[in-house]
Amino acid sequence: MKKIMLATIAGLAILLSGVHASRAGTIAPDLEEALAAAGPGEKVPVIVSFSDKVDLTLFQEKDKKLKRSLIVKTLRDKAEKSQKELNAFLKDAGIEDAVTLWAINALALAADAGLVELLAGWPGVESVRLDATISAPEATTGSAPASPAEGNITAVGAADLWGLGYTGSGIVVAAMDTGVDPNHQDLSGKWRGGTNSWFDPNGEHGSPYDRTGHGTRVMGILVGGEGGGTVIGVAPDARWIAVKIFNDAGQASFSAIHQGFQWLLDPDGNPDTNDAPDAVNNSWGFEQNPNQCNLEFQPDVQVLKSAEIEVVFSGGNTGPYPSSSVSPANYPESFSVGAVDGSYAVAPFSGRGPSACGGGIYPAAVAPGVGIRSSDLTYGGAFPGSYGNATGTSFAAPHVSGLMALLAGAFPCATVSQVEDALKGTALDLDAAGPDNDSGYGFVNGFAAYDALSQSGIPAGTDADGDGFFAEGGSCGPADCDDSDPSVHPGAPEVKHDGVDQDCNGYDLTIDILKAVYTASNDGLGVEAASGLGSRAGLELAGYGPMRWDRKKAKWTISVSPAGGNPGTVTVSGIEGSEPAMVVSDGGGGTGGSEGTGKTCSDGKDNDGDGLVDCADPDCAGNRSCR
């Protein structure tokens, strides 16, 4: 069967090659070169992009949680619909290795020349390109002495923010890197833990691990504690999660990086939970190709930024010459960070602008990046107090990511753009007056950025009960109607008839469904409900329409026929909320839905569909048969 399907693929490819001019998608030059170098039938890794994209500008919700959820759901739905037919075809052809990159509406798989032609000709396909690889970065070493303990942390204003009570508590940061050593004394207790806090797209490690130490050093600067006697991290009380995009051989495929960005949008796979990080540090880039604009990961960065997630990139160790920017740091959406030494001089190795992607200022700003003390590999926990000095823009970037984490804690209602503008607008100007292509907007200072945000009128975001909802409302999202009780907030489960408005919709839930009966004989559905709001409740039966207020009986009713079968459950909704109930079937042998009169209390039937028969039904209490 497999041979037949492969023959079918080959035949389709030949057919499509005859209409090359009308092919739906393009085949990238690097893929054509790889196929030319491959042997007959040899497969190469490819990424198939679809042309149908989500318009991210449509998501204008002020509530970050709702915005992220809607973006993830929309991206997943778009990818599922666009890729459905091709995925089915590939599965029938025995191709099981295709990976859906729903965040950018693409597929990653291995394909030979014939299949590549077929993919490029598939309706809706925009392009087929090589799933290339990128090498893991290494620290630039030098003879410069280590910065004084906490000197780099103090210099960027982090300690001043700690003094105000902002240490990163309640904030989650992420790193896309070589991994993280979880056994280090400054990192072990700060991993968020669980199945939504570590991702290895290469499938090598099911829990946090780092072979080279690069990612461990980065994370130490982000969240490291004081196990070694001094605080080494900018946001020491933040929690961390990580994506090990580089395999143990030090290589990362483009598709692995795409999967990493995608995972960060929705770590647990449930868009209704808010477990995405507040800031993502990326100390990697195309350093082997400076002054080029490689847009491979721009859609990923755009999606994360639209979901109000900060995205920081190291500016690259490609200096000292002008026009040495690197992608993805040089995307307009990225916050690129260069390195300075202890004297605030831009390090010779730090990449310079202008940006190859549009000619803008590059880097965005600079931070300490020479001789930075941070956590190092513990070699399986043998040396949990291992530290080292690191040099490179890789270690300047987490200073900025850490400051963004502190500011997210201070101003949870601020947008990513507002935080970035505050950091750039208050940076210490270095070199030539104004923004330049050596130090960008200057040397970052988190405390100065805090002052700017405070004076801008952005609400600080009061969350006294720690339930994730803020008293101010407005740009902070839906207001918490009782910030002293963590069980009361928008969307909280309601407790009926307790006089408390748990979900902050302005009402206690008082809806009671008195009856929900399906009669098979006439395909009829009858529902009765009551509410403490009486005629003001505005009840309706979800999926069927408004209910009618019966003033004499003081209840809401609706009868639907034909009902289209027994729905199993129904939900009655109104201004106070909604209430579900199971539907009882009378089997078609009832007497119209009444119980308690005549022989209905002695006929052995559940006439009103409440699950109770004859005298067991309270409706029959006054009936002669039950006295």
Residue ranges in 505-596 assigned as alpha helix (H): none
Burial label for 110, CB within 10 Å (0-12, 13-18, 19+), is middle
* Residue in 131, 186, 214, 610 annotated catalytic: 214
d(CA 374, CA 369): 11
| Active-site residue flag, 177 | yes
Question: CA torsion sign, 340 to 343 to 349 to 352?
Answer: positive
Structure-derived torsion over alpha carbons of residues 399, 405, 410, 412, reported in degrees to the nearest 10: 150
- Please state the φ and ψ torsions of residue 575, each to the nearest 5 degrees: -65, -20
* Residue in 63, 131, 177, 617 annotated catalytic: 177
Q: Are 125 and 24 in contact (CB under 8 A)?
A: yes
d(CA 176, CA 242): 6
Among residues 125, 164, 147, 115, which one has the least CA distance to residue 13? 115
| Active-site residue flag, 214 | yes
Q: Are 542 and 573 in contact (CB under 8 A)?
A: yes
| Active-site residue flag, 394 | yes
* Residue in 253, 336, 394, 439 annotated catalytic: 394
d(CA 46, CA 559): 57
SS3 513: strand
d(CA 136, CA 199): 17
Burial label for 234, CB within 10 Å (0-12, 13-18, 19+), is buried
Catalytic residues, which ones? 177, 214, 394
